[in-house]
Amino acid sequence: MRSTTSSTPLPNSTIELTAPFDVEQVREDFPALRTLIHGKPLIYFDNAATSQKPRQVIDRIRAYYEGENANVHRGVHTLSQQATDAYEQSRAAVQRFINAPSPEEVIFTRGTSEAINLVASTFGRVRIGAGDEIVVSTMEHHSNIVPWQLLCEEKGARLRVIPITDDGEIIYDEYRTLLSDRVKLVAICHISNALGTVNPIREMIADAHALGIPVLVDGAQAVPHTKVDVQALGCDFYCFSGHKMFGPTGIGVLYGKRELLEEMPPWQGGGDMIERVSFEGTTFNELPYKFEAGTPNIADGIALATAIDYLEQIGMERIAAYEHDLLAYATERVQEIEGVRIVGTARDKAGVLSMTMEGIHPYDAGTILDQLGIAVRTGHHCTQPLMERLRLPGTIRASFAFYNTRAEVDALADGLRRVQALFS
């Protein structure tokens, strides 16, 4: 089945790349891009799963362990104070990066999944009851489905699902229909990890807020690729992961509005989240520490600020423009290949290109591409309900970052043809 330009429009963008972007200079910062896979230079198109790390981030982690290693908070010795300062400066960097009103509204977690689970286990415990409803979309990652399912089962609440079109867009009229006084939360992805669809988050939040409904946004796929302003969006919670934004694994962020965070009970008990403990009772620490029990991921939290500095030095608008140009080019190249179909053709897309190949299982295609040094993700991408809606076992997903090149896209197109030749 041939994919044509008329059936697969190029993604829209209002951003133009006005300043020169030297991708080869950027690539010099990423040691992993010089790796050989099966004797061939690595072409890394699995950025939606995790991104590669610039040398600056790697060096910052090493510097902490070599010269600053100490536990944070409460220590009076010099190393502890230095580590604490660096860790809290990272929180301030996150606040600036997403334009949160205050650093106290920035909670460090292990990643997006933990951030969503934190909200489900605290906000959900207070706000959700029998007969209430939580609204999600068909395209959500499992991390933005399963915690709400568990909460609904516990509380006797109901999970409602926004349908999508065959192109992978929210059916907006259906979304409005789902909103009612029974709905106590909308949980929606900013950008789909499986399709690249950019959802109309600001409008969705405004419509929910008109009925007094809080909104949580899964921003794991948005923060690395576009400028995010939580105050402009108006969201009540925003979650993302460091490892997808060129930072370390094991560190993530939950932004929450202060009034909601103050209302929510602690999630985990332990050191640092307390003010005073006695056998008669415990009082809890102020924000953000109320939600950060135990020794945190200090080194990776500090290095997250380095990743943010790196992105800001390049400029998020320049990153978005470059990646959009790359997506448009990749869309054109893949459309030229007989028997390859693009899955996810929303009008507003980020740098994700999901595909199927006629008569070829995604795993087989991914294995052959790996032999050519090309890393793509194959399968359901932790979006099984979405794949069921699209009647697919999975897709071949190429996801782009600002260090990818048109030459690498050409290699991907040639690789897909090689795959077809082996099965012909």
The catalytic residues are 382
SS3 category, 22 = coil
**Contact between 348 and 202 (Cβ < 8 Å):** no
Rg (CA), the chain: 22
Structure token pair of residue 271: 């050191």
Q: Which helix (H) or strand (E) holds 15?
A: none
**Contact between 377 and 48 (Cβ < 8 Å):** yes
Length in residues, the chain: 424
End-to-end CA gap in the chain: 15
**Contact between 343 and 392 (Cβ < 8 Å):** yes
Cα–Cα distance for residue pair 337/4, rounded to 1 Å: 9
**Contact between 213 and 184 (Cβ < 8 Å):** yes
Q: Which of 324, 297, 312, 154 is nearest to 246 (CA)?
A: 312
SS3 category, 252 = strand
